[in-house]
Amino acid sequence: MTGRDTYHHGNLRRALLDAALPVIDEKGVDGLSLRELAAGLGVSHAALYHHFAGKSALIDALADEAGALLDERMAAAEREAGSDSRERLIAVGMAYVTFAVERSDYYAAFTASRGTQSVAGSGPSTATELRGDSWTRLLVVVDACQSDGVLPKGDPVDLGVYLWSLVHGLAELWRSGQLVALAEAGLEPLARRVLLAALS
């Protein structure tokens, strides 16, 4: 059966996304080649353009999926943390870090995509959402922490950007191997200590 026979009714789109993930994990986004993806799936290079206008469109599609997966993980962590706002904030922050490490394929697409909208707004109700509601989720927890006196008053967007920068930086440092010597017990205990320090 040829590739043209195998991939029909939209299956090629899913196959392309699935095939791109291990390549990104191994070579990074810059190492992804649509021509090589097509060859690996046994379809023509032109067939890809029925589903994606180009490489950036494929990366954006993976980033959308990554955002949804990230938010699912953050939501589950927040539920498990219970009603305490400090613990909820730590939980969503740790969920971001562990997602970045455990799903480095999706995370690379998520951070490389230019489809993410700019951060805007002055609070949870007006903030421009990032992928999969993860930005809005963070601002809601920040707002709860402010109400409980865990975080100082002020624009929750500014605090959200600060905390987002913190977990993003922590994830990148871990992924590059620069924090391994500081975390004998592993990533999660280190991430928790860092987040607690930021809230003290």
DSSP string, 75-137: HHHHHHH-S-HHHHHHHHHHHHHHHHHHTHHHHHHHHH-S-PPPP--SSTTTPPP-GGGHHHH
* Shared domain check, 95 and 15: no
Determine the pLDDT at residue 6: 56
* Shared domain check, 191 and 117: yes
Determine the pLDDT at residue 8: 55
Determine the pLDDT at residue 47: 87
Q: Select from 109, 129, 112, 133 the least CA-distant residue to 120.
A: 129
* Shared domain check, 83 and 42: no
pLDDT at position 2 over 60: no
Tell me the pLDDT band of 78, cut-offs 50, 70 and 90. very high
* Shared domain check, 152 and 75: yes
* Shared domain check, 178 and 195: yes
Determine the pLDDT at residue 115: 59
Contact 156, 181 (CB under 8 A): no
Q: What is the pLDDT of residues 133-173, one digit of tens each?
A: 889 999 999 999 999 999 999 999 999 999 999 999 999 99
Distance CA 116, CA 181 (A): 33
Q: Say how many domains are in the chain.
A: 2
* Shared domain check, 173 and 140: yes
Predicted TM-score (pTM) of this structure: 0.83
* Shared domain check, 127 and 82: yes
Contact 34, 55 (CB under 8 A): yes
Determine the pLDDT at residue 125: 35
* Shared domain check, 103 and 34: no
Contacts of 19 (CB under 8 A, 6+ apart): 37, 40, 41
- Give me the CATH number covering residue 15: 1.10.10.60
* Shared domain check, 83 and 19: no
Determine the pLDDT at residue 7: 59
* Shared domain check, 175 and 81: yes
What share of the chain has pLDDT > 90, as a percent?
A: 64
* Shared domain check, 180 and 156: yes
Determine whether 195 is exposed, middle or buried from the number of CB atoms within 10 Å of its CB (0-12, 13-18, 19+): buried
Domain range holding 167? Answer: 60-199
Determine the pLDDT at residue 178: 83
- Give me the CATH number covering residue 170: 1.10.357.10
Q: Which residue has the higher pLDDT, 34 or 118?
A: 34
* Shared domain check, 113 and 28: no
